Amino acid sequence: MHEIAIVKDIFQTLEQAYPERHQDIIRIDVQAGLLSNIQPILIQNAFEAYIEEYPIHRDLELDVTILPILAYCNPCDKNFEVKFHRFVCDCGTPSDKIVQGEELKISKVTFKNTDHE
């Protein structure tokens, strides 16, 4: 199950990006393109298993948003949504120029209020 490795990578990335504050994270928003081969329920299950193993993160939430596949059409000079894996623009021109759909990225990190007065 590669989802566990992905969840571990997310936490490692956050620990490296926020070494002093990673324990204050309360929510992680992740965007995954349809072509990234990510199943939201499997990621969520892997996430739940991970935070069960690391109680310091037990109050942390994960939100996964699946992004549609977008490709670029040269003749129309615009992006179009790929539906049913048909990489063909409304004008009938096929395209293999993927603009969105392969990514897996942390889009937002929310921290608990740690301001001290």
Burial class (CB in 10 A: 0-12, 13-18, 19+), 106: middle
What pairs with residue 94 in β-bridges?
Answer: 88
Q: What are the CA-CA distances from residue 85 to residues 61, 67, 101, 105 (Å)?
A: 31, 14, 11, 22
Digit-coded pLDDT (tens) for 69-116 = 999 999 999 999 999 989 999 999 999 999 999 999 999 999 987 543
Structure tokens at 24: 């204050």
pTM passes above 0.75: yes
Digit-coded pLDDT (tens) for 13-53 = 999 999 998 889 999 999 999 999 888 889 999 999 999 88
Strands (E), the chain: 25-33, 61-67, 70-73, 78-81, 98-100, 104-111
CATH architecture of 2-68+100-111: 2-Layer Sandwich (3.30)
Q: What are the CA-CA distances from residue 38 to residues 42, 47, 59 (Å)?
A: 8, 13, 23
